[in-house]
Chains A and B, each alone.
Chain A
Amino acid sequence: MSDLRITPLHALHLELGGKMVPFAGYDMPVQFAGIMGEHQHTRAKAGLFDVSHMGQVILRGASFDAVARGFETLVPMDVLGLGTGRQRYGFFTNDAGGITDDLMFANRGDHLFVVVNAACKDADIAAMRAALEPEISVEPVTDRALLALQGPAAETVLAGLDPDAAAMRFMDVRDLVLDGVTCWVSRSGYTGEDGYELSVPADAAEALARRLLDHADVAPIGLGARDSLRLEAGLCLYGHDIDTATTPAEAALTWAIQKARRADGARAGGFPGADRILTDSPTRRRVGLRPDGRAPMREGVLLFAEETGGEMIGRITSGGFGPTLGGPVAMGYVPLEHAAPGTRVFGELRGKRLPLTVEKLPFVAAGFKR
C-alpha cells in the first residue's frame, strides 16, 4: 500500500466511499455507488473521473513547428498540420511497427501538450527525451491533476462555470477559467460521450471536483465504469487491445494516420517502423465481438472458427458486460477472413465453445459534438 502513489483527489475518493484498488502504481477508485449505475449515469447525465494518474507532458522548442517536426519522428500522425487549439489521437510506434503507447496531443500555441497512459509514462518520457532533447524540451507536468467530465450533460455543467466551454467542438483545446482557476481543457474523452478533460493545478483540483459534483447531474465515476464505457465505445486499452505486438493496421487504427504521413503523403514515413506500417497487409484485425449468449467473455478467451475442432484463430483482448447494451461485449483479434461484421466465431469458456458475432465498432454510437 505504501508503495502506491496517490492523486490530488485521493482524500476526496475516500470521503465519497470509493472502493480503492491499485492501478498502474496508483491507489485509484474502481467504483463509488456501483459500476452499473455509474456507467448508466455517465451515458444519461455526466460523470466525473479522476485520470490524474495519466502522464501530462509539455514539449517546447524554438517554435511549435519545430516541436511538431520533432514529434513527427516518434508518431505516424500529422502534427505539423494540427491547428492551434486542436487535439489529435495518436500512438508511439517502434521499429518493428508495433505500438508502444497511445496518446492525445494538442497544439497549445507555443507548445505541444501530450497525455499518455499511466503505465507507460516513464518509458514514454524517457523515449521522448532520448529522441528530442536538447533541441526540444520534454517537461513532465507533475503539479496538475487531470479530470474528465463525460456525458450529455457535461456541456451544460461546464458552461455553468465558464460559458466558453459551450463554444468548443470535439477535439478543441483551450484555457477555461473554472471556479477561478485556469484549466487546460480539451473537448474529448474515453467514454464515447461528449465531454471534457480538464488539466487543473493540483492544489485546486479538489475544490473544482467538489464544485462539479455539487451539480445535480454529476456523479463520481470509478475505473470500472471507465472501462465498460470505453469498451462499448470501441476504444482501445493500451496493454490489452494494442501493444508492441500489434501494428496500427491490425488494430484497425490506420484512420489515425493522416494523409501527410502515409506512403504518398507530403511527409511520408520518418517515424519508427514506417517501412512496416506503411506497407502493412495484416492477416488479422481487431474487431468488435458480441457473445450470442449472456455469459461475459473476458480478456484471454480463445477464439475458434468452429464449434468443435480446428485451430485457435484468435483471442479476446477486452471483454465484459456492457450496461448500455444490456449484455456481454468484447473486442479481439481474428484473421481477416473472419473479420467481416456478421461472421460467427466461437469463444472457449469453461471448456465449452460459445458463439459470438463479429460486429462493427463502436457498439454504442458516439455522442461527440463535432
Chain B
Amino acid sequence: MKFTEEHEWLLVEGDLVTVGITAHAAEQLGDVVFVELPDVGDTVSKDDEIVVIESVKAASDILAPIDGEIVEVNAAIVDEPAKVNEDPQGEAWFFKVKASDPSQMDDYMDEAAYQSFIG
C-alpha cells in the first residue's frame, strides 16, 4: 500500500489502483456526513479534485493521485458516510482508477514513511 501527503491510501494491483483516506485523515476530519464521488468512466488527471468529503465541521476535497479512468466507485459510503469513520482503510474505499501511467505511483510513500510523515 502507498500513501500520499494528502492522506490517501492507494492499493495497487497491476494498473488498478483502489483509493481511500487514511485512518489518520478520517480522525482529523471528524464525523463524515457527506461524500460525493466521481462517475464511473470519468477520465481524471493527477491532482484533480474528484471527491468532496464533508464532516460536521468542514468540507474538503480528495485529489486524484494518478492519471487514469475511474472504473468503480463505492456507493455504500455515499449512502452511509459514517462508514468512512468506521473503516477508512478497509470497507470505506472511495474509488478504483485504471492508471494510464503506473510510474506516477513511484512518488508516493510507503507505510513507514507515511507514519513518520504524520508524526
Contacts and interface: CB of A to CB of B under 8 A. Distances in A.
Interface of A: 30-31, 34-37, 39, 224, 228, 294-296, 298, 320-321, 323, 328, 350
B52 A350 contact: yes
B86 interface: no
A295 B56 contact: no
Contact of B56 (A294, A323, A350): A323
Contacts of A294: 33-34
A34 B30 contact: yes
Contacts of B30: 31, 34-36, 224
B76 interface: no
B57 A296 contact: no
Given A35-B57, A224-B57, A321 B33 contact: yes
B84 to A, nearest CB: 12
Which residue, of B31, B33, B54, B56, has the highest number of chain A Cβ atoms within 10 A?
A: B56
Interface string B26-49: 000011011010000000000000
Contacts of B1: none
Given A321-B54, A350-B52, A296 B31 contact: no
Contacts of A30: 57
Contact of A36 (B34, B56, B59): B56
Contacts of A35: 30-31, 55-57
Given A30-B57, A296-B54, 7 more contacts: A34-B30, A35-B30, A224-B56, A228-B56, A294-B33, A295-B54, A321-B34
Nearest to A36: B31
Nearest to A295: B34
Contacts of B55: 35
A37 B54 CA distance: 16
Contacts of A37: 31
Report, nearest first, the 3 A-B pairs whose CB atoms are least far apart: A36-B31, A321-B33, A35-B56
A278 to B, nearest CB: 40
A34 B31 contact: yes
A200 B33 CA distance: 37
Interface of B: 30-31, 33-34, 36, 52, 54-57, 59
A328 B33 CA distance: 9
Nearest to A327: B33
Given A34-B31, A36-B31, A321 B36 contact: no
A267 B55 CA distance: 48
Contacts of B59: 296, 298
B56 A320 contact: yes
A58 B63 CA distance: 53
Nearest to B52: A350
B109 to A, nearest CB: 25
Contacts of B34: 294-296, 321, 328
Contacts of A31: 30
A35 B54 CA distance: 13
13 contacts: A34-B30, A34-B31, A35-B30, A35-B31, A35-B56, A35-B57, A37-B31, A39-B56, A224-B30, A228-B56, A294-B34, A321-B54, A328-B33
A294 B52 CA distance: 12
Contacts of B33: 36, 294, 296, 321, 328
A321 B52 contact: no
Contacts of B57: 30, 35, 224, 320
Which residue, of B31, B52, B54, B59, has the highest number of chain A Cβ atoms within 10 A?
A: B31
A328 B34 CA distance: 9
A195 to B, nearest CB: 21
A336 B54 CA distance: 31
A31 B55 CA distance: 13
A228 to B, nearest CB: 6
Contacts of B54: 295-296, 321
Contacts of B52: 295, 350
Which residue, of B33, B54, B55, has the highest number of chain A Cβ atoms within 10 A?
A: B33
A294 B56 CA distance: 12
A39 B57 CA distance: 13
Contacts of A328: 33-34
A224 B34 CA distance: 17
Nearest to B78: A294
B105 to A, nearest CB: 28
Which residue, of A34, A37, A328, has the highest number of chain B Cβ atoms within 10 A?
A: A34
